[in-house]
Amino acid sequence: MIGRFIAGISAIIWSPKREKYLLLRRSSKKDFGAGGWECVTGRVDQGEGFPEAALREVQEELGVDVTLDFMIDTVHFYRGEPVPENELLGVVYHCTYDESVPFTVSDEHDAFEWVTAVEAAEKLPSDHWLLPHLQQAEQLREKFPPNFLNS
C-alpha cells in the first residue's frame, strides 16, 4: 500500500497599519467548517513548496500579495473523523499585508474582521486551533523585525 501525505498551510495575516490580524468566516456554503472563523488556509499542491502554497492561497482567497515574515509553527489537523485519510499536516506562517491594494474576499469566505490576539481569544472558542498560533505570532513579532525572512 502506498502512503499518502497531505500538506497544508495557514497564513496568519498581520496589518501593521491596524496592528491587527485578519479573521475570515468560512462561507455557509462550505461542506466543512461552515460559519467558523479562521485565517487563510489551504492545501499544498503536488510539486509546490510550503511558502509558494501560502502565497498562492492568499492570492486565491484575497486577491492580494503578502510578505511571508516567518514560520510560526507546524500544525496537525483532522478533517472529520480522526483517521489517517483525514489528516492534514502543515505549516503556519506570519504574513504582513501593507493594505496598499484592497483585498476581496473569495467565495470561500463570507465575512472578515480585523482583530487583536486578545479580541480573537474573546471571539473564538477556547479550544480553537488558531489561538495558540496567534499567541506565538505575538511573541515572535516582538522578537523579530517585520519581513526578516526577506532582508
User: What local confidence, expressed as pLDDT, does residue 117 receive?
Assistant: 96
pTM of the model: 0.88
Q: Which three cell numbers stand for residue 133?
A: 498560533
pLDDT interval class at 12 (50, 70, 90):
very high
Distance between CA atoms of residues 4 and 85, nearest Å: 8
**pLDDT tens, position by position, 43-79:** 898 889 999 999 999 999 999 999 999 999 998 877 6
For 5-41, give the DSSP string: --EEEEEEEEETTTTEEEEEEEPTT-SSSTT-EE-EE
Distance between CA atoms of residues 43 and 46, nearest Å: 9
User: What local confidence, expressed as pLDDT, does residue 146 receive?
Assistant: 59
CATH of domain 7-150: 3.90.79.10
Q: What is the CA radius of gyration of the chain?
A: 15
pLDDT interval class at 20 (50, 70, 90):
very high
User: What local confidence, expressed as pLDDT, does residue 124 receive?
Assistant: 96
Distance between CA atoms of residues 142 and 94, nearest Å: 12
* Domain residue ranges in the chain: 7-150
